[in-house]
Amino acid sequence: MSLRYALLALLRVGPLSGYELQKQFSLSVGHVWHAPDSQIYPELRKMEAEHLIEGEEQPRGQRATRRVYHVTDAGEQAFLTWMHTPLEYARVRDPAHLRAAYLEAAAPDAARDFFRAHINQWERELAQWEGELLRIDEVANPMLVRRLAVTEPEDRERTIAFKRFTYEGLVDRARGEISWAKRGLRLIDELQHAGSGVRSDPNSAHV
């Protein structure tokens, strides 16, 4: 259900074709809500069928066309209503912590690989989100620029502040995951030393 609101959020800044939308999507909202084009195009059609958006066929070159969508009043309403409705949280479903809970079944090296991969995964997300923070501060994100262009001056501060705040939260989360995984690596070392004779060494401080 969130996909359509992610799309509405983008379209609210002004008309966009499915293709443009899909491109901008992966550079903005896509950072918090991933969706492939094979999901975006059909969803746009569905939203059009429900009159949340309207598409207009535009000529492109000689033979081709493209469909440019804009938000209807009903769509704007739907977006605002969603904004004022309690969120539905997805149930926990976390493969990394699932595996971590049973790492005693893995060889220490495999456990290390797992944590290294976890670090790697979140380092990449972190880089994305930190990059986005920079682009917010420099007002360099194209969608943010378009957004600000259609925003009342007195609302611009808020608009920027919430985006900044969102990405700060994501950055914090990524750092949390990374530091957890680093502690995991240390834990494996400690357990291995404990296991190989040093058993109850009071100096092998546990976290």
Pick 69 or 122: Cβ nearer DNA: 69
Measured between alpha carbons, how far is 151 from 140 in angstroms, rounded to an integer? 16
Separation of CA 22 from chain center: 15
Measured between alpha carbons, how far is 67 from 170 in angstroms, rounded to an integer? 34
Q: Is residue 22 at the binding interface for DNA, with CB under 7 A as the rule?
A: yes
Give the residue, chosen from 14, 27, 36, 81, that forms a contact with DNA under the rule CB under 7 A: 36
- Residues at the contact surface with a second copy, assessed by CB under 8 A: 2, 5-6, 9, 12, 29, 31-34, 79-80, 83-84, 86-107, 110, 113-114, 117-118, 121, 125, 151, 154-155, 157-159, 161-163, 165-166, 168-170, 172-173, 176-177, 180, 183-184, 187, 191, 194-195, 206
Residues in 85-104 that interact with DNA by CB under 7 A: 90-91, 93
Measured between alpha carbons, how far is 136 from 140 in angstroms, rounded to an integer? 6
Measured between alpha carbons, how far is 148 from 48 in angstroms, rounded to an integer? 26
**Angle value at C-alpha 118, between 39 and 170, nearest 5 degrees:** 60
Choose from a second copy, DNA, none: what does 72 bind? Cβ within 5-8 Å by kind: none
Pick 60 or 183: Cβ nearer DNA: 60
Report helix, strand or coil for 70: strand
Separation of CA 125 from chain center: 9
Q: Is residue 62 at the binding interface for DNA, with CB under 7 A as the rule?
A: yes
Report helix, strand or coil for 206: coil
Pick 69 or 147: Cβ nearer a second copy: 147
Pick 23 or 99: Cβ nearer a second copy: 99
- Rounded to a whole number of angstroms, the CA Rg of the chain reads 23
Contact residues toward DNA (CB under 7 A) are 1-3, 17-20, 22-23, 34-39, 41-42, 44-45, 60-64, 66-67, 90-91, 93
